[in-house]
Structure 1
Amino acid sequence: MTGSRVRIENFAGMVPKRSNRLLGNSQAREANNARLSSGEIRGFRDWSALHNFNDSAIQKAYRLPDPGSPGGFLWVGFTSPLITLFPGPLLNDAYDRYYKFGDGRPQYNTLERLRNGDPYYWLGVPAPVLPGALAAAGGAALDEERYYVYTLVSEYGEEGQPSIPVTDTGKEDGTWTLSGMDASVPNPAEQPITHKNIYRTVAGFTTSEFFFVAQIPLAQDSYADSVGSDIVARNNILASGSWAEPPVDIEGAVVMPNGFFLAWSGRDIHFSETYRPHAWPAAYDLSTQYKIIGAGVFGQSAGIVTSGHPYFATGTAPENTTLTKNNSAEPGLSPLSIVPLPYGVLYASQNGLTLMSAKGVTSATSGIITKDEWLNNYSPETLVAAQYEEQYLGFFTENQGIAINPSEPQESFIQFDAFNRIDMVQTDEQTGELYVIRAGVVYLWDDPAQQRVAYKWRSKTFYFAKPCNMGAAVVDMEPLADIIEDLETVVAEARAYNTERIKTRLQPIATAAMGSSYVEPMPPPFDEIPQNRMSIGGSPLLDLSQLMARNSDVRFTVYVDGEVVFSEQVSDKKMFKLPSGFKNDIWEFEVSGRRTIFSITVAETARGLADV
């Protein structure tokens, strides 16, 4: 900027940490509801409803691909925002199993059962209670000592830990009867156990190797084995010796890239076997010094957020995963603030947004916002966040939020204040779409088919070398023809609202005090449309002509030494005059509306505009 002229383009976001006067010419003192990645000011698109659970308590939702459901999707909802539902890691799983964490004991279900409304099963297969008894009889060959065990098997082929081994000595070609086995399980409704697998040792091999003998129904409590050792020795060896059930107090989980779960409870980290979500060997467990808040995955690592120092869990398999404590004390303030992104994991700490990446632990916002501003203005302990494109997008109250993109300085930091009553935001990992959940309804964020939401962008404070009068301005914006469809949508929604409002019967007595406002309850979806603030005798209906003007024009506001001296609607990119008769050296400029802004040019005279 030179002289008494200003041209603002290549618009950027906010940097609250810096003084308004020291911001770059394209940076914002205030940027609300604005998309800035292109360098232009654009409004986000409004939401569109995807699914209504008809249950206002729902705070988490998943859309599962399902050819058997209307529209090809099955919606599953939960009342706790901490619950996560993962598709099974096994490719082409014949049962389409889904695994649920964050609601007490880990559970799972099949797509068919979910579609039918059937309850979840407990995750894991129990070890047998009874060891059984072994007796050898008959035969003419040499004596040998054998050990037998058996395992429980679910209807989905999942196998648990073996029973305590039992032993006897008898003839190799005799009949060995294993009796007294479990014929039922303690919780048949929660654990669908249908069969037992029987294993035994074979002479000439170590006693720690148990070979498969036979599979029998759960209800059968004995089995007579007369199969020759030469045949048994060619069978599979017992693999489930350490396949324990998952701990019942698991608080959350993530899926690692190579097909195993990483879960946590308290300070402990647990792992499932690769591609066997029901099996959780205790030997894989690791521990942190601090309580675990949550985790996110990037690359071959998981960033473990704790109430103290963060940790990295890195490995290609559960048995070789290592845990590394970082030296930075960056405790997590909100489990719902943890968001995995392509370049790492972001979460809310006391110092701002902390980034865990291949480079270690760094602050993603240290150059944007101070610790005091972060803690006092953005309530990070209540932050719920998700990934949208490459942005970190979060809300800390029902209608106030932020968006940050550490990898794109242009967007830096923007705020949201145009959305109402947000309960939860989450990313659909199968589509990349962002969902907003409010009162049991799932909405698609930034739907391209919807009208743009009104933005506001206010410039830095421009200090001129000497007082001047900025007398002319041009706001270059998208042509009106480009937003005709948006205007038609606005008018259609307003007409539908007016029709419904006319049909709504008034309450017998309006109890609003003189000078205040009274809002008549409206049925969905019209409860989402802001109602008029009207004077006595005014109309309760939306004024279509005013709506057209408000949605097609851009309001341009000029501040001089902090006071508004001009605020008018601008409908095109023609030059317009600003107030005269005064001079000052402190100026700011603001645009608000729905039309895309390309640039703002301000000068003392109309001729000066051409020189900028």
Structure 2
Amino acid sequence: MLERITGFKGAIPRMNARLLPSGYATVARNTRLESGALDPMQDAEDVATLGAEARTIYRFNGQWLSWMDVVDAVPGPVAADRLYITGDGSPKLFQGGTSYDLALNPPADAPSIATTGELQSDDPEAETILYVYTFVTGFGEESPPSPASRPIYYGDGTVVTVSGFSQPQADRNVSKMRVYRSQTDLAGATTLYFVKEISINSVSFVHDLANDPMQEPINSVDYDQPPADMVGIVSMPNGMMAAFSGKQVLFCEPYIPHAWPEKYRLLVSHDVVGLVALGSSLIVLTTGTPYIMQGTHPENMTQTQLESELPCLSKRGIVDLGYQAVFPSIEGFVQIGPDGSAQVISRQIFSISDWRELNPTSITATNYNGRYMFSWAAPVGGERSLGFIDITGDRPFYAAADASCAGFWRDLTTGYVHYLAGNDTGAQVKRWDAGSPLTQVWRTGKLYYPSITSFGVIMIDADGGGTTPELTYRIYADGALFAIGSAVNEAARLPNNLSQNYEIEIETNMSVSMIQMAGDFNELMGG
């Protein structure tokens, strides 16, 4: 009898050990399982020590940012030195090492108007006009307009002095104001037109139409501020960003991420938990039914409610795998594609009792080489464990690893995963899979034979292992250990044995490509 094992895969905890397909395991720990071989993961590398404990980390322009809250941070579709943050109180703009409120409030007061040469209201030559003004930040952001001034009855030769400007909100880097004047066309439509940009310190502005003619129409009328409780910000194509507040899904004005017009807001039937952008599709995960919203501009976004009730149990467990969203729900890990197709991908891996032991409301996760890397806290004691779900092949499987991860951050430019070492919080930032090879443990299912079988020799093909390669194999018959050894790349004799059920366990920091076990040397070499 020759037993040859290649094409190594992970564990399927819900399946009886005797029924596991070839290559699958009952134990797979610290093993990468990407090449078909047993490749050890590498130890984590210390990257930074934060000044205080944190739950969320993000590296931006060489600086580690951290928060105790569940925070989302994304670069915006504008200047490369700006980061947009939600979850840390009100929404924020981070630029140049400083945080600003993202909301840019409009001027509170209408401008005061003084005139010379103003006509009477009943003069047939009089044109009724209004003035407003906006605030402009040093980042080029423009606020909604102020309340309108009193009507002015304008004629040739009328000179208008605009004053009475409000003070802008503090700590928002407001440096200028833009003054606008109205004009009404023959159809009776009134539009505000830009006439002059002035310093924020200006006390007044004298508008002579001959010197400062009207230019482009105002764009910022609908530049509503984001709600103070807006969270979950994500980037989308075409300069869009999305976020949510309660049951509302919000979209910014394209390429203008400080403006979140009310006219673009969509309402769903349950509180939103988190968002995932997959191309022009936005997956909306809620406490009830998921939604998919699709469109290339906020004004043409459509929404579809999915048929399945798949509530998201943990915002921190939502992961964008690049081609699908994965998140923890009541029956297991759910996958939703950009077309709205949904399935419980872990149903083949975990039973319901297995799933509940993972304490899904505690899950925090990230994308690791296209695999779902997740950490969960024990229901009692809170100690965190680390695992991976691989859905890249024909059948998903699970692997575990030795680390306690309180939070993750993935560098999109390199694919490296960083994590906070700890259970609930942490201050030590580590880079995953960056050091020397870890000791991996992999164990077969029960290798069952229809009749009593005896194995007399084993051979393990392996290489690597760094400066101190180590390998130990253990062989079990009917659950009892009967052989232990360390031979690599050579046949090793086994003690006498007779059984119908065998298990092989490998513990090593080397890369194992094949395990063979046979009745004798001739069978091994001739097989």
Larger deviation, residues 17-26 vs 267-276: 17-26
- The residue that corresponds to 2:492 in the other structure is 576
Where does residue 44 of structure 1 map in the other structure?
Answer: 41
The residue identity in structure 2 corresponding to 1:78 is W
Q: How many Å separate the matches in 2 of 1:465 and 1:603?
A: 16
Match of 1:554 among 457, 462, 471: 471
Q: How does 1:188-227 map to 2 (within 5 A)?
A: 188-189=170-171, 191-204=172-185, 206-227=188-209
Aligned residues: 511
Residue equivalent to 1:26: 23
Higher helix share: 1
Q: Does residue 1:74 correspond to 2:57, yes or no?
A: no
Following the alignment from structure 1 to structure 2, what is the Cα–Cα distance between the partners of residues 278 and 203? 29
1:179 positional shift: 3.1
Q: 1:444 aligns with which of 417, 420, 431?
A: 431
Deviation track 1:421-475 (CA, whole Å, cap 9, x = no partner) reads 322122112332111212312211111xx21111111112111111122221111
Aligned twin of 1:131: 110
Deviation at 1:54, TM superposition (A): 3.6
Deviation at 1:41, TM superposition (A): 0.3
CA distance, structure 2, for counterparts of residue 424 and residue 109 of structure 1: 21
Alignment correspondent of 1:414: 398
Residue number among 416, 420, 429 corresponding to 1:433 in the alignment: 416
Aligned to 2:390: 405
What is the CA–CA distance in structure 2 between the aligned matches of 1:358 and 1:269, rounded to whole Å? 17
Tell me the residue number matched to 1:566: 483
Q: Which residue of 2 aligns with 1:463?
A: 448
Shift of 1:329: 0.6
Within the candidate set 9, 14, 24, 2:11 is matched to: 14
Deviation at 1:384, TM superposition (A): 1.0
- Per the TM alignment, residue 203 of structure 1 is displaced from its structure 2 partner at its CA by 4.9
Distance 1:611 1:400, change over 3 A: farther
Gaps of 5+ in 2: 378-382
Give, as a single letter, the amino acid of the residue that structure 2 aligns with 1:149: V
Secondary structure at the residue paired with 2:109?
coil
Equivalent positions of 1:45-444 (< 5 A) are: 45-55=42-52, 57-65=53-61, 73-80=62-69, 82-90=70-78, 92=79, 96-111=81-96, 114=97, 118=98, 120-138=99-117, 142-166=125-149, 167-182=151-166, 184-185=167-168, 187-189=169-171, 191-204=172-185, 206-228=188-210, 232-233=213-214, 235-359=215-339, 360-376=341-357, 378-397=358-377, 398-409=383-394, 412-419=396-403, 421-438=404-421, 439-444=426-431
Partner Cα separation in structure 2 for residue 278 and residue 31 of structure 1: 47
Question: Is 2:50–2:428's contact at 8 Å kept on the other side of the alignment?
Answer: yes
Residue 207 of structure 1: how far off its partner (Å):
4.2
CA contact 2:74–2:233 (8 Å) conserved in 1:
no
Q: Is the 8 A contact 1:400 1:415 kept in 2?
A: no
Mapped contact 1:394–1:425 kept (Cα < 8 A): no
Does the residue aligned with 1:42 lie in a helix, a strand or coil? coil
Deviations 1:179-224 (A, max 9, x none): 3231x13x313x2222221111235365431111112223334322
Q: 1:54·1:441 contact (CA, 8 Å) conserved in 2?
A: no
More strand by share: 2
Q: What is the one-letter code of the residue matched to 2:195? A: V
**RMSD (Å), alpha carbons:** 2.0
Counterparts of 1:88 and 1:198 in 2: how far apart (Å)? 28
Per-residue deviation, 1:32: 1.2
Q: Distance in 2 between matches of 1:389 and 1:136?
A: 68
For each residue in 1:572-594, what CA deviation from the matched residue of structure 2 results, as whole angstroms up to 9, or x when unmatched?
221112221x4221111111111
Q: Offset of 1:611 from its aligned partner? A: 4.0
What's 1:587 paired with?
A: 502
8 Å contact 2:349–2:398 — kept in the other structure? no
> What secondary structure, in the 3-state scheme, does the structure 1 residue paired with 2:328 have?
strand
What SS class does the counterpart of residue 162 from structure 1 fall into?
coil
SS at match of 2:130: strand
Cα distance in 2 for partners of 1:280, 1:63 equals 26
**Unaligned segments of structure 1, at least 5 residues:** 66-72, 488-547
Residue aligned with 2:34, SS: coil
Rounded to whole Å, the distance in 2 between the matches of 1:302 and 1:567 is 53
Secondary structure, counterpart of 1:440 in structure 2: strand
Aligned twin of 2:438: 453
Deviation for aligned residue 1:131: 1.3
Partner Cα separation in structure 2 for residue 5 and residue 43 of structure 1: 26
Give 2:525's aligned residue. Answer: 610
Counterparts of 1:248 and 1:240, CA distance in 2? 20
The structural deviation recorded for 1:10 is 1.1
Instruction: Quote the Cα distance in structure 1 between the aligned partners of 2:8 and 2:184.
Output: 79
Amino acid in structure 1 at the alignment position of 2:521: A
Equivalent AA in structure 2 for residue 477 of structure 1: A
Residue by residue over 1:337-362, the C-alpha shift from the partner in whole angstroms, topping out at 9 and shown as x without a partner, is 10001221111111111111034112
Q: Structure 1 stretch 258-267 or stretch 169-178: which is displaced more?
A: 169-178
Q: For 1:304-362, what per-residue CA distance to the aligned partner results, in whole angstroms no more than 9, with x for missing partners?
A: 11111111121111111222111111111111110001221111111111111034112
Task: Note the C-alpha offset of 1:399.
Answer: 4.7
Distance in 2 (CA, whole Å) between partners of 1:383 and 1:201 is 55
CA distance in 2, matches of 1:130, 1:333: 45
Cα deviation for residue 135 of structure 1 reads: 4.0
Q: Which residue of 1 aligns with 2:380?
A: none
In the TM superposition, residue 280 of structure 1 has moved relative to its aligned partner by: 1.0
SS at 1:128 equivalent: coil
In the TM superposition, what is the alpha-carbon distance from 1:19 to its structure 2 partner? 2.0
Task: Label 1:266 to 1:577 Cα distance change in 2 as closer, same or farther (>3 A).
Answer: same
Counterparts of 1:123 and 1:139 in 2: how far apart (Å)? Answer: 40
- Residue identity matched to 2:199: P
Matches of 1:357 and 1:307 in 2, distance apart?
A: 19
1:21 is paired with a residue whose SS is helix
| Other structure's SS at 1:574 match | coil
CA 1:611–1:21 in structure 2 vs 1: closer, same or farther (change >3 Å)? farther
Work out whether residues 23 and 460 of structure 1, in 8 Å CA contact, stay in contact via their aligned partners in 2: yes
- Offset from partner CA, 1:343-398 (integer Å, 9 cap, x none): 2111111111111103411222222222332122x222111110111111111135
